[in-house]
Amino acid sequence: MVHDIRPFALGLPKAELHLHLEGTLEPEMMLRLARRNGIDLPYQNVDQALAAYEFSDLQSFLDLYYAGCAALVTEDDFYDLTWAYLMRAAQENICHVEPFFDPQTHTERGVRFGTVVTGILRALEDGEERFGITSRLILALLRDRPADSALHTLEHAHRYGRHIAGVGLDSAELGHPPEKFAEVFETARMMGYRVVAHAGEEGPPSYITGALDILGAERIDHGIRCLEDPVLVKRLARDRVPLTVCPLSNVRLRVVRSLAAHPLKQMMDAGLTVTINSDDPAYFGGYLTDNYVAAAEALHLGPHELARLAEASFDASFLDADAKDQHVYAVQQYAKRHGIPLS
Ligand code: ADE
Ligand code: ZN
């Protein structure tokens, strides 16, 4: 029997499918790297940074997120950033991760694409060797920059071959519909990348439909506004399109009023394939386990539902079928040990 949900959620084998590596930059590391690189930040200390993390919407967060990225300059900075996340992931029994990185925000400042990606990949390789955490890296394109810039970024990525598994779309959603990137994503698909896209976070359900139909997205990041369109909900359920939901993010960016008002449970009840994720944990007050626990407490989800969400996190990943089966089996064994039969 499970009395306290936190230890159960902590030890539960999980995959994280919606995580921006730049969003794991904790204020301590941001200040340390900025000092190391001679970069000026809008904060002098951790308390000032944390005090500024009060957001009214997605854009108000992105302004600080991009400002914080200025601290990241060298290959070692990207290594350290990724490694710090992986150490936490190991402590939370995150067995597989499909992180995003935002190369344009670095190349625009004169940091080379290769510097960014090499630092990240080196840490991901070490993470697999040291902790057994597998990964599939996703290059996220900034939707509030011109499509040309995205195409140029894809050309850079090509040199890294299979080390980059997928292409995603993030940044300010409103006013930047999927149509803007039709050609870019057609190119990405032709290059063999898996495709995901943020949609329906702040943007309307039509952006989710566009992400599926125009971009060919296999997974939708956030997607919570799908509930406003019953036809779309039916389609997403029928086609088992995974939605990578981020409860603490949605509250901090005021996409939803409170955790108690979060639509996650409604989405599960509608038969949608949903997973829980942390998005930008250094900014939103919690890593993956915190998101599981917060959702469980606010929405009255029990260990059985959390285990189902963990199974879904592996099923919705880009792992091959055998690896998925092994992870799902591990979730089932874990649940069984806690007196929760899943089948
Ligand atoms: N980049 C980092 N976090 C993001 C989010 N929640 N939505 C869109 N773009 C992002
Ligand atoms: Zn995101």
Please report the pLDDT score of residue 161 as a whole number: 83
**Low pLDDT (below 50) residues in the chain:** none
Q: Which ligand is nearest to the Cα of residue 200, counting in written order?
A: 1
pLDDT of res. 342: 81
What does the domain layout of the chain look like in residue ranges? 223-300, 302-343
- The closest of 164, 18, 166, 25 to 82, measured between CA atoms, is 25
CA of 279 to the centre of ligand 2 (A): 5
249 within ligand 1 shell (Cβ under 6 A): yes
Please identify, by atom number, the ligand 1 atom nearest to the C-alpha of residue 20. 2
Residues 6 or more apart whose Cβ sits within 8 Å of residue 106? 69, 72, 113, 115, 116
> Which of 81, 144, 170 has most ligand 1 atoms within 8 Å of CB, for mutation?
170
Closest Cα to residue 226, out of 190, 260, 201, 246? Answer: 201
Q: Which of 173, 201, 305, 311 is catalytic?
A: 201
At 1 the pLDDT is: 67
User: What DSSP element (H or E) covers 12?
Assistant: none
CA angle, 120 then 52 then 278, to 5°: 45
Contact of 291 with 247, CB cutoff 8 Å = yes
Determine the atom of ligand 1 nearest the C-alpha atom of 202: 7
What is the structure's pLDDT at 265? 98
Residue 3: its pLDDT value, please? 72
Nearest alpha carbon, ligand 1 atom 1: 171
Q: Is ligand 1 within 6 A of the CB of residue 23?
A: yes
Q: How many CB atoms lie within 10 A of CB 343?
A: 5
Catalytic (active site) residue 201: yes
Q: Are 100 and 127 in contact (CB under 8 A)?
A: no
Measure 125 CA to ligand 1 centroid, in angstroms.
25
Q: Does 27 sit in the ligand 1 pocket, CB within 6 Å?
A: no
Reference 77, options 108, 46, 111; nearest CA is: 111
Concatenated DSSP letters of 155-183: HHHHTTGGG--EEEEES--TT--GGGGHH
User: Which residues have C-beta under 5 Å from ligand 2, the single-atom ion?
Assistant: 279
pLDDT in tens, 181-235: 999 999 999 999 999 999 999 999 999 999 999 999 999 999 999 999 999 999 9
